[in-house]
């Protein structure tokens, strides 16, 4: 069973033709940060190079050594290869085809922060929370607040 404490809540608040930025928080932890993802509009179609739809996602193991990602988001609305949206380190829109890039700070079309508080640092914090909670018990909520 998943309770409200085992959630990662991401609120999209900024976008350009290159990317979307969201702020995230974890109620069970003092963990906050930012995600960079592809620009809108939302799409559940594989290969669209657009951000995923707002909604609730579960997590699954999805290790990619090259990017440092360990978990990915999935739900019934994502089609084919679009399932399994990885959270991995990166800073710029060119670093992702559809995944979520965490960071400690943001500016237009960028997430990261000054060393040692960079994208990899924030990714490690997320991994630590998910590892402790158990990925099967974590839900990831995406809210689109842009233009509302």
Alpha-carbon distance of 4 to 105, in angstroms, equals: 25
Residues of the chain where predicted confidence (pLDDT) is lower than 50: 1
Number of domains the chain contains? 1
**DSSP letters for 63-108:** EETTTTEEEEEE-TTS-GGGS-EEB----SGGG-SS-BEEESEEET
pLDDT of 42: 92
pLDDT of 115: 87
pLDDT of 15: 97
pLDDT of 82: 62
Cβ atoms of 38 and 93 closer than 8 Å: yes
pLDDT of 1: 44
pLDDT of 54: 95
Question: 128: domain range?
Answer: 4-144
58 token code pair: 């579960």
């Amino acid at each position: 069973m998943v309770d409200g404490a085992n959630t990662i809540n991401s609120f999209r608040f900024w976008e350009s033709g290159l990317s979307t930025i969201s702020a995230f928080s974890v109620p069970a932890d003092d963990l906050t940060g930012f995600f960079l993802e592809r620009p809108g509009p939302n799409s559940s179609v594989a290969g669209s190079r657009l951000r995923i739809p707002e909604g609730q996602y579960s997590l699954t193991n999805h290790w990619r050594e090259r990017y440092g990602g360990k978990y990915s988001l999935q739900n019934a609305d994502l089609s084919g290869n679009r399932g399994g949206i990885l959270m991995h380190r990166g800073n710029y829109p060119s670093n992702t085809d559809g995944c979520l890039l965490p960071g400690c700070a943001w500016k237009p079309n960028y997430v990261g922060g000054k060393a040692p508080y960079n994208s990899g640092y924030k990714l490690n914090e997320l991994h630590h929370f998910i590892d402790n909670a158990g990925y099967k018990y974590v839900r990831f909520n995406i809210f689109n607040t842009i233009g509302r």
